[in-house]
Amino acid sequence: MTGRILFCIMLAGYLALAVPFSSSLVNRPVLVKLGTLPEPEVLRIISGDQRFLVAQSAVVKVLFYYGTLVEKFQRKVRITPEYYNMYRTLITASKLDPWNADVYYFTQAAFTWELNKINEVNGLLDYGMRYRTWDYQLPFFAGFNSAYFLKDYKKAASYFEKAAQLRGDPLLANLSSRYFYESGQNRLALSFIDYMAKHTTDSKVVAVYEVRKKALLGVMTLEEAALGYQRRFGKKPERISDLVSSGVISSIPVDPYGGQFYLDGAGKVRSTSKFSFPVPEAQRKKQ
């Protein structure tokens, strides 16, 4: 009888604790959630023949964390992302398993557009190229970064040449520095985003690319409208609202990053969001 009473008390206690216990874990600090890994050299020693699994679990951990960030950004919840820890975890994963494609793909997806860590990403891609000698995508990513972000067309051309050699696809060979320069950056970026979104199984990463694509389409619509305005009135529009009031376009596209489109002094379309998810100022300075 005593045993049964004790069991019932324990069961009631468990039921009472289950929900608050679970929510306390859900709400634990971000840094605790993402965790920190030991130095790659140490981890390589202790993980033995399980190092490939450890590397993949580190990537998946970052991916899950990034997924929660994306959900929060989409709901306009302002939080401080642990970009540094994410990057460090990915670097560790690359040291444990330098062939892991997810590391390079995710670094390209998360650290270029939002954080502008182009040199770091290209450094990691260069490291990956030493191991994934058959993979055309790493030079393809590095070429895109060099041309689009760094405007280093010579370097981009050499990356694209390497990618074209590996792929044996003339399409990649056409993505030369000249093509970048002449065809317009946004249209090329749009093709790149479509490529990236098609080549992943992760819906969160696709969602991030969809947001970027929507922003680029908005910019392209406004740029084309500004050209139309100039053709019709013989002068550049002074404000974005001129495009609507003159009837060139019916409405101003929405910036999915939550900003407002405007024209800068040179007449270029920009947004107050700077096309990135909001990051608190203190965190931005830290990064």
Partner 1 sequence: MDTFQNLYRLSVASLVRDRLLYLVFSLAVLALVLIPPFSMFSMRQVQELSVTLCLSALSFFLLVVTVLTGSSSIWRDLEKRYAVSVLGLPLPRRDFVLGKFCAICTLLAVVSLLFAAGSFAAVKVSTALYPSEIPTQWGTFAIAVLFTYLKYVLLLSLAFVFSAVSTSFYFPFLASVAVFIAGSASQEVYEYMLGPYGERIAPTTKALTKGIYYLLPNFTAFDLSAQAIYSLPLVGGTLLLTLGYFVCYTGIMLCIAVWSFSRRELS
Residue with tokens 């696709």: 206
Indicate which single residue of 134, 154, 182, 235 sits in contact with partner 1 (rule: CB under 8 A).
134
Contact indicator for 161, 178 with CB cutoff of 8 Å: no
Residue 270: phi and psi, rounded to 5, are: -135, 175
Site string for partner 1, 215-254 (x = CB under 8 A): ----------------------------------------
- Residue 108 binds partner 1, judged by CB under 8 A: no
Instruction: Please say which residue, 10 or 46, places its beta carbon nearer to partner 1.
Output: 46
Query: Which of 142, 102, 154, 90 lies closest to 118, judged by CA?
Result: 142
- Residue 44 binds partner 1, judged by CB under 8 A: yes
CB of 106 to partner 1, least distance (A): 6
Site string for partner 1, 189-218 (x = CB under 8 A): ----------xxxx--x-------------
Instruction: Please say which residue, 127 or 179, places its beta carbon nearer to partner 1.
Output: 127
CB of 168 to partner 1, least distance (A): 13
Residue 262: phi and psi, rounded to 5, are: -150, 165
Instruction: Please say which residue, 18 or 45, places its beta carbon nearer to partner 1.
Output: 45
Contact indicator for 82, 112 with CB cutoff of 8 Å: no
Q: How far apart are CA 64 and CA 173, in angstroms?
A: 35
Task: HSE, CB side, 13 Å, CA atoms: give it for residue 172.
Answer: 23
CA distances from 182 to 120, 140, 154, 220, 283 (A): 27, 19, 14, 16, 37
Range in contact with partner 1 (rule: CB under 8 A) among 46-54, 81-89, 111-119, 224-232 = 46-54
Range in contact with partner 1 (rule: CB under 8 A) among 11-19, 24-32, 41-49, 151-159 = 41-49
Instruction: Please say which residue, 197 or 220, places its beta carbon nearer to partner 1.
Output: 197
Rg of the chain in Å (alpha carbons): 24
- Residue 168 binds partner 1, judged by CB under 8 A: no
- Residue 127 binds partner 1, judged by CB under 8 A: no
- Residue 60 binds partner 1, judged by CB under 8 A: yes
Q: How far apart are CA 13 and CA 19, in angstroms?
A: 11
Instruction: Please say which residue, 114 or 135, places its beta carbon nearer to partner 1.
Output: 135
Q: How far apart are CA 168 and CA 155, in angstroms?
A: 20
Contact indicator for 100, 57 with CB cutoff of 8 Å: no
Instruction: Please say which residue, 63 or 222, places its beta carbon nearer to partner 1.
Output: 63
- Residue 39 binds partner 1, judged by CB under 8 A: no
CB of 98 to partner 1, least distance (A): 9
Centroid of chain to Cα 139: 18
CB of 35 to partner 1, least distance (A): 17
Residue 189: partners with Cβ closer than 8 Å, 6 or more residues away: 148, 216
Secondary structure class of 223 (helix, strand, coil):
helix
- What residues line the site for partner 1 (CB under 8 A)? 41, 44-46, 48-50, 52-53, 56, 59-60, 63, 97, 99-102, 105-106, 132, 134-135, 199-202, 205
